[in-house]
Amino acid sequence: MAGLATTFGSGAMTNAINEIEDAEVILVIGSNTTEAHPQVARRMLNAVDKGAKLIVIDPRRTRLAECATLHLALAPGTDIPLLNAMMRVILDESLADQLFIDMRTENFAALRAMLYRLDLAELEAVTGVLLEDIRRAAQLYARARRSVVCYCLGITQHICGTANVQSIANLAMLTGHVEKQFTGVDPLRGQNNVQGACDMGALPNVFPGYQAVDNRDYREKFERVWQTRLPAAPGLSLLDMTHSGACGPMRAMFIMGENPLRSDPSLDRVEETLTSLAFLAVSDIFLTETAAHAHVVFPAASFAEKTGTFTNTERRVQLVRQAIPPIGDCRTDADIIIALSGRLGYAMAYESTAEIMEEIALLAPIYAGIRHDRLRHSWGLQWPCWNTAHPGTPFLHKYYFTRGKGHFVPNDHLPPAELPCQDFPFLLNSGRIYHHYHTGSMTRQSALLNRECGEALLMIHPADAARLKVRGGDRLCMASRRGAVEIKAEITDQVAAGSVYTNFHFGETPINRLTIAAQDPVAQCPEFKVCAVRLEKL
Amino acid sequence: MRHVLTTCVYCGCGCGVYLREENGRVTGASPSRNHPVSRGNLCVKGWHLHDFIHSPKRLTTPLMRKNGELVPVSWDAALDYTAQELGRIGASTNGQGIGVLSSAKCTNEENFLLQKFSRAVLKTNNIDHCARL
Ligand code: SF4
């Protein structure tokens, strides 16, 4: 979420989920909300029932797009030109919120200069969206008093992911649609506790509470509380580690509850890295593809067997309560870490997970007021929560941006790293579906969820299918420059001609063998959403 | 039979869910009526939240590789060997040769402990999770 951090100073959802219901205009971009965030989609549809206008920007005609007032089916990877075109229309028609821009933001002149250099007819051609529709979307969004933008991995999983997010922030600031109730910019976080894992500093460059490791004051605070010296240089990111290869710096890895051999792009490189390690330990609830490569595998307790907290996409910290003791000989990940730490000569003594939260509160100011007993008697607390009397913060940037003034960062179009060519004529897009979750290690265990949706399907447009003489249910070989998989075809006009779409939940069909390792230089988010492939009927 | 209020593990909406516990087994999941996100609703994943908990495929004992095969071992054996290897490789590479991956599926407390373990004990900032995937 680096993009929001540079513009607003904080990378979290600015609204509460329920506020979406009271928006007048909802702009959804790069998010298949009905499938990936069902409860957020429910609020959007409630808002539509109450008369709100819904604008969906997505290359596919998703279920949400079918309910939309306006669906802009842009060419994949052209989010920036589309957003720039909307902003240009807003300037041309004097719909910008000049007072907000003057009082609350900086660097507007640079954005304006960039927008005035653009040619709308050219942007229409690049995005494949009619200028008329772009104009209507811009007018709807800018004229309403309460407009919300929701975006998801469709925006961040591009080589220009950070620039995409900045462009969304530009649009919101240009029209003053931030820092008010029912109005804002909301990144929808994919997995249940992504927000919490970031908040807790499971990141190479920050301690808990987004305090930079290379800042001496922060580091000294942590050194004082933890009574030991800490490394100052930021570490390697996920893909720098899993893609470092046989000759890279990685000699040993400890992996807790992740399955990089299914979730990361360019799997052959991940496999090379993992098999060349001198030591690999994995803690998980199932023997995942990654665990099968390990030297040591720890059986972890599931969420039903432990106590702790998760933080949802609206920054709400909530309790997870133990329902049953760990099954078999399982232990919680906390117990495993504490046992290892003790053996390495660093004692971690906690009576309970509530005590761990007390240490978090001591060190991370945004969690300072959060305690397990407060959570027990409420529906959770939304951070920042500055002290034990603080009620939490339903919407961010209430009176000022976290970083002071909002900063405009103008961005130009950056085409995807790999576009279709003669040898690989189709554009492959991948994502999630309603019935399964991430690499499927949990949901695939459910007989019912598997019956509803038991294998990966490749969505192909009827015109392409006719040309390839493929019928629904036929098996295809799909190949990219990096690898090939076998997959069943589903014919549908939900995808545009020339594009195909599937999802990555299924171990038998490892789509990430095909995807590309190009990544966004700032947020280091891999470009999953776009790569070029070839199809052959089997 | 007990109903235990907890939080769904699947997506970032964070619905409030009651797990039904009978004789040490989780046998059902149902939404909380008053919870601000779930408001009496769950999606199909939430209604089947309990399905994987007692799956026969769950790992139930530590495993260690011997002669190329993963075989069951005691907790002490698995922990001792892991501590020894992480300590040895950490010391010889000054922490730089070690990588740690945390999880967006684990709790805040566990993520906190794992980054503390990486930084304070293994002396490396090579820690990340799949936020971006
Ligand atoms: S029940 Fe469905 S919508 Fe609610 S948190 Fe779980 S997965 Fe998300």
Full DSSP string of A368-385: TT--HHHHHTSS-EESP-
Give the pLDDT confidence of B73-83 residue by residue, as tens digits.
Answer: 999 999 999 99
pLDDT value of position B64: 96
Residues sharing a CB contact under 8 Å with residue A136, sequence separation 6 or more, in sequence order: A70
Q: Is B37 inside any structural domain?
A: yes
In the three-class reduction of DSSP (H, G, I as helix; E, B as strand; rest coil), residue A353 is classed as helix
Share of chain A above pLDDT 90, in %: 32
Specify the fold of A2-188.
Answer: Dimethylsulfoxide Reductase; domain 2 (3.40.228)
Q: Is B47 inside any structural domain?
A: yes
Mean pLDDT of chain A: 81
Which residue did the predictor score with more confidence, A124 or A17?
Answer: A124
How many contacts, defined by CB atoms under 8 Å, are there between A and B?
418
Partner residue opposite A298 with nearest CB, options B10, B62, B99: B62
Give the pLDDT confidence of A74-93 residue by residue, as tens digits.
Answer: 887 788 889 999 999 999 99
Q: Which CATH architecture has domain A194-382?
A: 3-Layer(aba) Sandwich (3.40)
pLDDT value of position B100: 95
Task: Provide the token pair at A447.
Answer: 């007989």
Alpha-carbon distance of B2 to B6, in angstroms, equals: 13
Q: Is B82 inside any structural domain?
A: yes
Look at B107 and A308 and tell me if their CB atoms are within 8 Å: yes
Partner residue opposite B128 with nearest CB, options A238, A263, A287: A238
- The secondary structure of A440-452 as a DSSP string is STTGGG-HHHHHH
pLDDT value of position B1: 85
Residues sharing a CB contact under 8 Å with residue A261, sequence separation 6 or more, in sequence order: A267, A270, A271, A274, A288, A289, A290, A293
Same-domain status, B26 and B48:
yes
Give the pLDDT confidence of A208-223 residue by residue, as tens digits.
Answer: 999 999 999 999 999 9
Partner residue opposite B121 with nearest CB, options A260, A346, A446: A346
Which position has the token pair 């407060």? Answer: A374
pLDDT value of position A470: 85
Residues sharing a CB contact under 8 Å with residue A370, sequence separation 6 or more, in sequence order: A309, A317, A357, A360, A361, A381, A383, A385
Q: Is B133 inside any structural domain?
A: no
Task: Provide the token pair at A369.
Answer: 């007021």
Same-domain status, B41 and B8:
yes
Same-domain status, B68 and B124:
yes
Same-domain status, B123 and B89:
yes
How far lies A404's CA from each of A8, A97, A213, A428, in Å?
A: 8, 18, 22, 41
Terminal Cα-to-Cα distance of chain A (whole angstroms): 41
Indicate which CATH number applies to the domain containing B11. 2.20.25.90
pLDDT value of position A435: 43
Task: Provide the token pair at A59.
Answer: 């290359």
Most confident stretch, A8-12, A132-136, A176-180, A425-429: A132-136
Determine contact: A313 vs chain B, CB below 8 A: yes
Alpha-carbon distance of A206 to A222, in angstroms, equals: 11
Residue A469 has, within 13 A of its CA and on its CB side, a CA count of 3
Which residue did the predictor score with more confidence, A185 or A203?
Answer: A203
pLDDT value of position A295: 95
Q: Is B42 inside any structural domain?
A: yes
Share of chain A above pLDDT 70, in %: 79
Which position has the token pair 């990877």? Answer: A77
Q: What is the mean pLDDT of residues A50-56?
A: 90
Q: What is the mean pLDDT of residues A281-292?
A: 92
Give the pLDDT confidence of A307-357 residue by residue, as tens digits.
Answer: 999 998 888 999 999 999 999 999 999 999 999 999 999 999 898 999 999
Q: How many CB atoms lie within 10 A of CB B105?
A: 30
Terminal Cα-to-Cα distance of chain B (whole angstroms): 39
Taking the CA of residue A312 as reference, the ligand 1 atom at the shortest distance is 5
Task: Provide the token pair at A91.
Answer: 């300037």
Q: Residue B95: which domain range?
A: 63-128
Same-domain status, B116 and B72:
yes
Packing angle between helix A333-343 and helix B75-93, nearest 10 degrees? 60
pLDDT value of position A414: 65
The last residue of a domain, from among B52, B74, B93: B52
Same-domain status, B74 and B124:
yes
On chain A, the residues whose CB falls within 8 A of the CB of B56 are none
Rounded to two decimals, the ipTM of the complex is 0.94
The last residue of a domain, from among B52, B74, B90: B52
Q: Which residues of chain B have pLDDT under 50?
A: 132-133
Same-domain status, B28 and B80:
no
Same-domain status, B69 and B123:
yes
pLDDT value of position A190: 58
Look at B11 and A448 and tell me if their CB atoms are within 8 Å: no
Q: Is B87 inside any structural domain?
A: yes
Q: Which residue in chain A is spatially nearest to B51 when comparing CA positions?
A: A446
Same-domain status, B42 and B82:
no
* pLDDT band per the 50, 70, 90 thresholds, residue A394: confident
Same-domain status, B81 and B107:
yes
Q: Is B58 inside any structural domain?
A: no
Give the pLDDT confidence of A367-378 residue by residue, as tens digits.
Answer: 999 999 999 988
Most confident stretch, A172-176, A262-266, A516-520: A172-176
Specify the fold of A426-537.
Answer: Barwin-like endoglucanases (2.40.40)
Same-domain status, B90 and B71:
yes
User: Min CA distance, A180 vs chain B (Å)?
Assistant: 20
Domain ranges of chain A: 2-188, 194-382, 426-537
For A398, counting Cβ atoms within 10 Å of its Cβ (0-12 exposed, 13-18 middle, 19+ buried), the class is: exposed
Residues sharing a CB contact under 8 Å with residue B32, sequence separation 6 or more, in sequence order: B5, B15, B16, B17, B18, B38, B40
Same-domain status, B48 and B80:
no
| CA dihedral over A340, A345, A346, A348, signed as positive or negative | positive
Q: Is B57 inside any structural domain?
A: no
- What are the backbone angles phi and psi of residue B30, rounded to the nearest 5°? -145, 155
pLDDT value of position A522: 47
pLDDT value of position A229: 93
pLDDT value of position A377: 85
Which residue did the predictor score with more confidence, A383 or A451?
Answer: A383
Q: Domain total for chain B?
A: 2
**Does the structure show a pLDDT above 50 at A259?**
yes
Q: What is the mean pLDDT of residues A235-261?
A: 87
Look at B51 and A256 and tell me if their CB atoms are within 8 Å: no
